[in-house]
């Protein structure tokens, strides 16, 4: 697995500005992911204490943890893509090298972008349906569903846009 750490974009103009903006948004998104993950861990700790120390039943902690950790994964994904921290099998492109490698990686990034763009579109549609339909989770806790769907829509959108930044940077 080859990992790369991106230096700030050195391109000027509109493309360089886009790349720098996406890199900043990806970093900010990683902080949100961290906060969501910590919230999930704290909810699990609360559940363990409440259930096993106090002997009380729990109603919201499992569902909250699922939503927050899933949101953390999706909100952190643009940063992971930007830093090259994702799992990638690059044995063939690395063996070929040169222009062929660049073409293969660009095609892979285009497929990644297309998938993430389609997922982002569907996520936003689903989010607005949940918001306007006042959907709830249907559990004992029964919170509104839209806050759990928001990180999905935002995270997949930022991931698709980060794919574009990587392609423009010449690393896709």
What is the extent of the structural domain holding 129?
Answer: 13-169
Confidence class of residue 172 from pLDDT cuts 50, 70 and 90? low
Q: In this structure, what are the phi and psi dihedrals at residue 136, rounded to the nearest 5 degrees?
A: -125, 175
What value does the mean pLDDT take over residues 108-134? 97
* Any domain includes 117: yes
Contact assessment for residue 123 and residue 149, using Cβ atoms and an 8 Å cutoff? yes
In a domain, 92, yes or no: yes
State pTM to two decimals: 0.86
Report if residue 27 sits inside a domain. Answer: yes
State the average pLDDT over residues 100-117. 93
CA 112 to chain centre: 13
Look at the chain and report how many structural domains it folds into: 1
Residue 127 within any structural domain of the chain = yes
Instruction: With respect to residue 82, please indicate whether it lies within any of the assigned structural domains.
Output: yes
The pLDDT tens digits for 9-54 are 467 789 999 999 999 999 999 999 999 999 999 999 999 999 999 9
């Amino acid at each position: 697995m080859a990992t790369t750490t991106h230096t700030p974009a050195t391109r000027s103009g509109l493309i360089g500005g886009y790349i720098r903006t996406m890199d900043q948004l990806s970093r900010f998104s990683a902080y949100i992911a961290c906060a969501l993950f910590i919230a999930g861990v704290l909810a699990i700790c609360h559940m363990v204490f409440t259930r096993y120390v106090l002997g009380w039943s729990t109603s919201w902690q499992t569902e909250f943890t699922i939503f927050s950790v899933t949101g953390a994964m999706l909100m952190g994904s643009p940063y992971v893509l930007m830093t090259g921290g994702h799992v990638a099998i690059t044995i063939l492109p690395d063996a070929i090298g040169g222009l062929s490698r660049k073409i293969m990686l660009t095609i892979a990034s285009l497929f990644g972008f297309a998938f993430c763009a389609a997922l982002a579109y569907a996520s936003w549609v689903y989010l607005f349906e949940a918001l306007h339909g006042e959907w709830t989770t249907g559990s004992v806790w029964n919170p509104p569903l839209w806050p759990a769907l928001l990180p999905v829509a935002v995270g997949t959108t930022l991931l698709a846009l980060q794919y574009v930044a990587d392609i423009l940077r010449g690393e896709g």
